[in-house]
Amino acid sequence: MSGKGGVGKTTVSVNLASELARRGYSVGILDTDLTGPNIPKALGLLNAPIYATDEGIIPAEGPLKMKVMSMGLLIREGDPVIWRGPLKAKAIQEFVNNVQWGELDWLIVDLPPGTGDEPLSVMQLIPLDGVVLVTTPQEVAIMDVRRAIHMVRKMNYRVLGIVENMSYFTCPGGEKVRIFGGEGGKRLAEEENVPFLGEIPIHPKVSELTDKGLPIVISDPDNPVSLAFKDIVDKIEDMLR
């Protein structure tokens, strides 16, 4: 979750899920961004067929046998979804209750930005073990993520921690440049007294591989971005063990 758009929620969801799947867990990914469902593209599932049985919808199968459900699998590319709150809540309820997830070790839920209908529905419908907040270092992102933390607390859920994405860029010469400023994520974690899960650098391969539907932790496991994700998954695994 994040209060802010475009900070990397989908990237973080896909790569946390992929790293967990790499570790041998059975993993599901639920995309609750109903109006901007990006998960199918990020997992190379844009044209994946979806089947329904009497028992419900069968999720699509992504890399490493991850089970994937997203509005993007149900509509044609380019079709807009223009829905108000109650309909969104209903769709999320369908995704939770009428999709044949089977036995999962982990269900990773990707959210749209903000503290609106979708996160509210998710927190009301799914007994979550916790929420990972994603931010970038800038003050505007931090402000919105603070709001999201307070929402999670109001709903009595555990904040597993903050992931700071796009923290810095390493130049070809080796110099680390903090393009979006200082260590906002770490500071926010201290101020809100929640764990800081780690920094993810900016790397051109992230968007390049996402556009190809290949999560970076699978397709380039030694990339500094992938190593950062592994470190974050270590922490989350420890917390929920």
List of residues 6+ apart from 78 with CB closer than 8 A: none
What tokens does 33 get? Answer: 């961004």
Q: Which of residues 177-216 bind ligand ATP (CB under 6 A)?
A: 200, 202-203, 206-207, 210
Tell me the backbone φ, ψ of residue 11, rounded to 5 degrees: -60, -45
List of residues 6+ apart from 48 with CB closer than 8 A: 40, 60, 61, 68, 73
Contact residues: Mg ion, CB under 5 A: 9-10, 38
Check residue 112 for interaction with ligand ATP (CB under 6 A). Answer: yes
Window of 19-27, 33-41, 122-130, 153-161 that interacts with ligand ATP by CB under 6 A = 33-41
Closest by alpha carbon to 112, among 232, 207, 6? Answer: 6
How far, in Å, CA of 235 to CA of 30, rounded? 22
Question: Residues 62, 63, 113, 137: which binds ligand ATP (CB under 6 A)?
Answer: 113
8 Å CB contact between 32 and 109: yes
Check residue 116 for interaction with ligand ATP (CB under 6 A). Answer: no
Check residue 10 for interaction with ligand ATP (CB under 6 A). Answer: yes
Q: Give whichever of 34 and 183 is closer to Mg ion, judged by the CB atom.
A: 34
Type and span of the H or E element at 96 = helix 85-97
- Smallest separation, CB 12 to ligand ATP (Å): 7
- Smallest separation, CB 56 to Mg ion (Å): 25
Check residue 135 for interaction with ligand ATP (CB under 6 A). Answer: no
Check residue 5 for interaction with ligand ATP (CB under 6 A). Answer: yes
Judged by the rule CB under 6 A, the positions of this chain that interact with ligand ATP are 2, 5-11, 33, 36, 38, 112-113, 165-166, 200, 202-203, 206-207, 210, 225
